Amino acid sequence: MTVKRIVRAGFLDFWRNGFVSLASILVMTVTLFVVGTTMFAGVILTSTISDLRDKADMSVRFTPDAPEDQILGLQKSINALPEVASTQYVSADDTLAAFQSRHQDNQMILQALDELGTNPLGAVLDIKAKDISQYDAIATFLKQQQALSTDGQANIIDSVDYFDAQHRAALDRLEQITNSAQRLGLAIILILIFTTIAISFSTLRLAIYTSREEIQVMRLVGAARFYIRAPFMVEGVLYGLIAGVITLLLFYPLTYWLGRSTADFFGGINVFSYYLSHFLLFLGAIIGTGVVLGAVASYLAVRRYLKI
């Protein structure tokens, strides 16, 4: 019965202090919106870096006259390296077919290939390392191996393209920027949280002030501290709940509008699909943050200014 009375008193205070409630909800909505935006930004940036790391590989291009048995022998040696996760052999014919498919709209290139009469492209060996930092070691192995043909003279490797130290430095720099951005976002969230608590604290003081006579009567009759404080905390929790629901509703059209753009430019992550598939995560984070903010602000306002 006591809990029912506390909840009812909290709802009554919420409706009675309409302007105070609206101001607190708006401030909390801004804070919760930034919290959610930071979550999305972290997911997008992390996914982008992960996608770049997954796409990193090494392509060993062979000369057109390289014997297939030597290429397969080299592939077997590479597979034995502890740094190598996998390899894929693409024959010269498959390389030519892929090249023709990519340039199917360019008749000049296709005509030039027909005039050559032979396949000018060699086979390709795609290598995937276990870690992005291990491509240098694989490249060193290829240089030491020399990949000579049976006559001991001609090198069967035409070129080696891979994610070298310069590219890794750029990726590491991007990762550092991402981490800095996430720390900045966290700092902004903390600032907004303290600002929200301060503003809610001030607005709740007004609500508490209007109820000062009722509180004095409750104190005179010996009401417990929790019984006096609890309705205001319920009021603060209502602020957080409503602000959280508003924030979640705002993210639905926003992520729907941005979904295709983020899928095209940020590593294939569609924020709308991610929002729907991880809705419970956002629900818990945003609603939970709002409820905690409202409860803490209410608790502090009653505790500090009413001297209960």
Global pTM exceeds 0.95? no
pLDDT at 149 over 60: no
Q: Which of 132, 162, 192 is the last residue of a domain?
A: 162
pLDDT at 138 over 70: yes
Overall number of domains in the chain: 2
Q: Are residues 214 and 294 in the same domain?
A: yes
Q: Are residues 290 and 247 in the same domain?
A: yes
CATH number at residue 87: 3.30.70.3040
pLDDT in tens, 44-66: 777 777 777 777 778 888 888 88
Q: Are residues 31 and 80 in the same domain?
A: no
pLDDT at residue 167 in the model? 62
11: confidence class by pLDDT, cuts 50, 70, 90: low
| DSSP codes joined into one string, 6-38 | HHHHHHHHHHHTHHHHHHHHHHHHHHHHHHHHH
| Whole-number Å distance between alpha carbons of 96 and 282 | 49
Print the domain residue range for 201.
2-52+169-305
Q: Are residues 174 and 250 in the same domain?
A: yes
Q: Which two tokens stand for residue 208?
A: 């508490």
Q: Which of 130, 162, 194 is the last residue of a domain?
A: 162
**Partners of 124 in the beta sheet?**
61, 90
- Mean pLDDT of the region 67-93: 85
**Dihedral, CA of residue 36, residue 37, residue 39 and residue 41, to nearest 10:** 170
pLDDT at residue 144 in the model? 73
Lowest mean pLDDT among 75-79, 247-251, 264-268: 264-268
Q: Which two tokens stand for residue 154?
A: 């001609």
Share the mean pLDDT of the chain.
Answer: 76
pLDDT at 162 over 70: yes
Do residues 30 and 188 lie in contact, with contact meaning Cβ atoms separated by under 8 Å?
Answer: no
Q: Are residues 226 and 147 in the same domain?
A: no
Q: Are residues 114 and 70 in the same domain?
A: yes
Q: Are residues 254 and 216 in the same domain?
A: yes
Give helix then strand counts, H and E, for the chain. 11, 4
Which is it for strands 84-90 and 124-129: parallel, antiparallel or unpaired?
antiparallel
Q: Are residues 174 and 264 in the same domain?
A: yes
203: confidence class by pLDDT, cuts 50, 70, 90: low
131 or 304, which is more confident? 131
Q: Are residues 135 and 262 in the same domain?
A: no
Share of the chain above pLDDT 70, in %: 70
Q: Are residues 192 and 290 in the same domain?
A: yes
Q: Which of 98, 129, 162 is the last residue of a domain?
A: 162
pLDDT at 36 over 80: yes
247: confidence class by pLDDT, cuts 50, 70, 90: very high
Q: Are residues 147 and 38 in the same domain?
A: no
